[in-house]
């Protein structure tokens, strides 16, 4: 991977982590779009982070919720690799988080409604190819789920 791309990824992560760094302010999650003709790989992005949880089963909302809860407890970034359409429950959780940095999860952790307040240090970064967004993602407001977007 070129130093330029590595620098862009590093700068993107820095900006994302600085968004709303005051307690109580809303913060954004990020999206990295890899152009289909690009030679950047998911692993290249991973190599720029020290402490994160990787998630790549976007058709399983239970696994996503478990990963999110662990990332939240451990104050880590969660990388979500998207290779096809997202489970609607994952979309719902991402929508809730984008609005107020919390989410309500039904029937989780032996509770009817589990309320999860996202830790100020946690960020969700979704990574996908442009063709996946254009051809596979069914949610029409997908881009609205994120603040900063990096196109590689």
- Dist. CA 15–CA 54, nearest whole Å: 20
Distance of CA 80 to the CA centre of its chain: 5
- The answer on pLDDT for 5 being more than 60 is yes
Q: What is the CATH number of the domain that holds 76?
A: 3.40.50.300
Per-residue pLDDT, 27: 87
- The answer on pLDDT for 44 being more than 70 is yes
81: which strand partners?
Answer: 127
Distance of CA 133 to the CA centre of its chain: 14
Domain that holds residue 133: 3-151
- Dist. CA 75–CA 122, nearest whole Å: 5
Number of domains in the chain: 1
């Amino acid at each position: 991977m070129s130093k330029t791309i590595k620098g862009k990824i590093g700068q993107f992560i820095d900006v994302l982590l600085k968004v709303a760094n005051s307690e109580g302010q809303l913060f954004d999650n990020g999206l990295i779009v890899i152009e289909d003709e690009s030679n950047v790989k998911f692993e290249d992005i991973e190599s720029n982070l020290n402490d994160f949880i990787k998630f790549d089963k976007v058709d399983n909302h239970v696994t996503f919720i478990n990963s999110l809860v662990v990332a939240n407890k451990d104050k880590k970034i969660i990388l979500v690799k998207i290779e096809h359409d997202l489970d609607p429950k994952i979309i719902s959780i991402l929508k809730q988080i984008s609005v107020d940095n919390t989410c309500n999860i039904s029937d989780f952790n032996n509770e009817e409604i589990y309320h999860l307040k996202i830790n100020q240090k946690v960020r969700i970064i979704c990574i996908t190819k442009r063709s996946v967004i254009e051809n596979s993602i069914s949610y029409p407001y997908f881009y609205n789920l994120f603040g900063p977007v990096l196109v590689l």
